[in-house]
């Protein structure tokens, strides 16, 4: 069972949608603002730090020790074995650098250290920079070797020659600076946390880099500032969301929800009035909606629809009444047409020399096919199979006229060719619609089985001898009756044996099609006849109809199905 969705009002959906939109908008604004804020603040910190480093370097560049000291210390450092290097921080390690004077006040080392401390103290008080130091980089061992480190915090203070490992990626932007882009690195270590390191190279007289003047910027305060900035934006977004949602809901209620509810109520009233067959009209025309948008257009459209539906209902009632009248008249016409065709079986109860039976199934209410059989005298039986061009009422009227003419002239004992010639002359006189009828007309001499026949453009008859199979008899064709005046027809004769059968039909039988648009065909018709060749016409014709229906059951019948069979006893 399908779960029924929870009903929510349009107002609630509006509030929800507005809040969601504002939240998404706020998040986007926050991300963009914080991103630009972070970039701008980082640039500001880095630029200030770099300026500080250049100022410090300028004040120290007067001392030869700024290039000589790093070179000397690195010479000792590079001369140490791996085992000796691993003793860093111990008194034994300090002995490797005992030739340097790092204790006497007033030498170049202390003067340069004081210059760095002065810059560090100024920025430390402002909590911008926590450390400024002079160091060299051991690219081979991925280590940074301290030259001058005036760090106030003893736990982070390094003596000249001390080293610590460093990720090579963290110093690449500084060591391999190309003159464009950033000269800093932002990284995280367990010891120092999030730190931005800015550096400038210290070069000797030969423009060789011997050390780097580096400064560390702690990012905790930087991240705290970003957090506070984000909270301010979130607070602003919440306030703006509430204000926008309130304004939006009021606006949408006035311009959308209320008009839509009015249209819904009018629709309900309209449906109720129609179900109750009420004469009340103007449900939508009285809404008085003037929103100036699609809602107003919808209301106007519904008003026009209501007006057109009312007019349509009136016309539909008239059309229904007219259709019922036409249906009644068509039913009567069908009955009249059926009554005009011989349908009683046996047709001649007192005549045992032959057995005749015929059927017609029109494609529409009335058909254009017709058959007929009647005694001209005691020894002559006229047989007629005809197909009028077209379908429906016109074909039915033309069929009745043709049937009457053929029967009247045949009853005058005229030969079949003369019967059709006279019928053709009369039909052609007022045939402005240029309709025509194909006719097979034969007169059976009952005593001898001789049949004198004429074929006016109709299907070939199919004949079975007493002990043989049904075969198509390709007789001579003339022009259809009503085609043009002055036509002459010629007759032919053949003998129907006792026990033999003559089968007549219209083109609706072989031209019936299946879903692949393939016709039933003469061959399939002949095969079906031979399957039931021992049957009398009253059993044979229903078998043929059943075979055609089975073949074309997925397609609609488009032509009349008419058959006649006669067997001599």
Q: For residues 69 and 199, give the distance between their C-alpha atoms in angstroms, rounded to a whole number.
A: 18
Structure tokens at 104: 């006497």
Are 396 and 367 within 8 A, CB to CB?
yes
Q: Which option is the CATH number for 61-218: 3.30.450.20, 2.60.120.260, 2.40.10.10, 3.40.50.300?
A: 3.30.450.20
Structure tokens at 25: 């908008």
Q: Do the domains at 61-218 and 342-568 have one common CATH topology?
A: no
Sign of torsion, CA 219 225 228 233? Answer: negative
The pair phi, psi for residue 386, each rounded to 5°, is -140, 155
pTM, two decimal places: 0.49
**CATH number, domain 342-568:** 3.60.40.10
pLDDT tens for the chain, 569 residues: list them.
455 555 566 666 666 777 777 777 777 777 777 777 777 767 777 777 777 778 777 777 777 778 888 888 889 999 999 999 999 989 899 899 888 888 777 777 887 888 777 776 665 555 567 778 888 888 888 898 998 888 766 677 788 889 998 887 777 777 776 665 557 777 777 777 778 888 888 888 888 888 888 888 777 766 776 777 777 777 777 787 778 777 777 777 777 677 777 777 777 776 676 666 655 566 676 777 777 777 777 777 777 777 777 777 677 667 666 666 655 555 565 666 667 889 889 999 999 999 999 999 887 766 778 999 999 999 999 999 999 987 777 888 888 889 999 999 999 999 999 999 999 999 998 788 889 999 999 999 999 999 999 999 999 999 999 989 999 999 999 999 998 999 999 999 999 999 999 999 999 999 999 988 899 999 999 999 999 999 999 999 999 999 999 999 878 877 889 999 999 98
Neighbour-count burial of 318, counting CB atoms closer than 10 A to its CB (0-12 exposed, 13-18 middle, 19+ buried) = exposed
* 18 cis-preceded (ω within 30 degrees of 0): no
Domain boundaries, the chain: 10-51+222-263, 61-218, 281-340, 342-568
Strand ranges across the sheet with 143-148: 163-165, 143-148, 131-138, 209-218, 193-203, 184-189
């Amino acid at each position: 069972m399908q779960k029924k969705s929870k009903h929510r009002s349009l107002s609630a959906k509006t509030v929800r949608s507005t809040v969601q939109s504002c939240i998404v908008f706020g998040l986007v604004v926050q991300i963009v603002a914080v991103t630009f804020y972070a970039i701008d603040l980082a640039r500001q910190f880095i630029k200030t730090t770099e300026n500080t480093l250049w100022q410090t370097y300028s004040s120290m560049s007067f001392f030869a020790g700024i290039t000589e000291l790093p070179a000397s210390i690195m010479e000792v450092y590079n001369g140490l074995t791996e085992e000796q290097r691993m003793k860093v921080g111990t008194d034994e390690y300090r002995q490797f650098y005992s030739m340097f004077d790092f204790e006497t006040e007033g030498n170049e080392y202390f003067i340069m250290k004081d210059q760095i401390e002065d810059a560090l103290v100024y920025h430390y008080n402002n909590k911008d920079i926590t450390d400024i130091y002079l160091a060299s980089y051991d690219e081979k061992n991925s280590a940074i070797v301290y030259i001058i480190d005036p760090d106030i915090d003893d736990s982070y203070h390094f003596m000249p020659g001390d080293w610590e490992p460093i990720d090579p990626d963290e110093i690449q932007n500084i060591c391999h600076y190309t003159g464009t882009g950033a000269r800093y690195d932002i990284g995280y270590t367990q010891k120092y946390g999030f730190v931005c390191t800015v550096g400038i190279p210290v070069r000797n007289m030969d423009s060789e880099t011997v050390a780097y003047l580096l400064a560390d910027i702690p990012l905790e305060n930087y991240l705290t500032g970003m957090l506070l900035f984000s909270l301010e934006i979130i607070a602003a977004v919440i306030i703006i969301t509430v204000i926008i949602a309130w304004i939006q809901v009021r606006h949408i209620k006035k311009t959308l929800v209320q008009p839509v509810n009015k249209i819904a109520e009018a629709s309900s009233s309209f449906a109720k009035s129609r179900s109750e067959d009420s004469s009340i009209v103007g449900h939508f025309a009285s809404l008085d909606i003037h929103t100036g948008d699609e809602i107003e257009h919808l209301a106007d459209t519904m008003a026009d629809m209501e007006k057109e539906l009312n007019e349509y209902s009136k016309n539909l009632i008239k059309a229904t009444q007219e259709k019922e009248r036409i249906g009644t008249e068509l039913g009567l016409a069908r009955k009249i047409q059926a009554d005009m065709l011989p349908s009683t079986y046996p047709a001649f109860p007192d005549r045992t020399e032959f057995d005749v039976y015929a059927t017609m199934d029109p494609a529409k209410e009335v058909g254009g096919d017709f058959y007929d059989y009647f005694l001209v005298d005691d020894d002559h039986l006229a047989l007629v199979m005809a197909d009028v061009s077209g379908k429906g009422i016109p074909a039915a009227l033309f069929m009745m006229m043709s049937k009457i003419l053929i029967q009247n002239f045949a009853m005058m004992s005229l030969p079949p060719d003369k019967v059709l010639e006279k019928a053709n002359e009369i039909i052609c006189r007022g045939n402005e619609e240029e309709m025509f009828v194909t006719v097979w007309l034969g007169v059976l001499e009952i005593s001898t089985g001789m049949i004198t026949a004429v074929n006016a453009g109709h299907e070939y008859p199919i004949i079975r001898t007493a002990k043989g199979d049904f075969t198509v008899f390709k007789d001579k064709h003339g022009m259809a009756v009503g085609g043009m005046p002055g036509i002459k027809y010629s007759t032919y004769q053949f003998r129907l044996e006792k026990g033999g059968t003559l089968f007549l039909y219209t083109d609706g039988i072989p031209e019936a099609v299946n879903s692949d648009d393939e016709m039933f065909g003469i061959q399939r018709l002949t095969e079906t006849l031979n399957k039931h060749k021992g049957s009398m016409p009253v059993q044979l014709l229903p078998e043929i109809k059943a075979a055609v229906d089975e073949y074309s059951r997925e397609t609609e019948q488009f032509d009349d199905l008419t058959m006649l069979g006669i067997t001599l006893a």
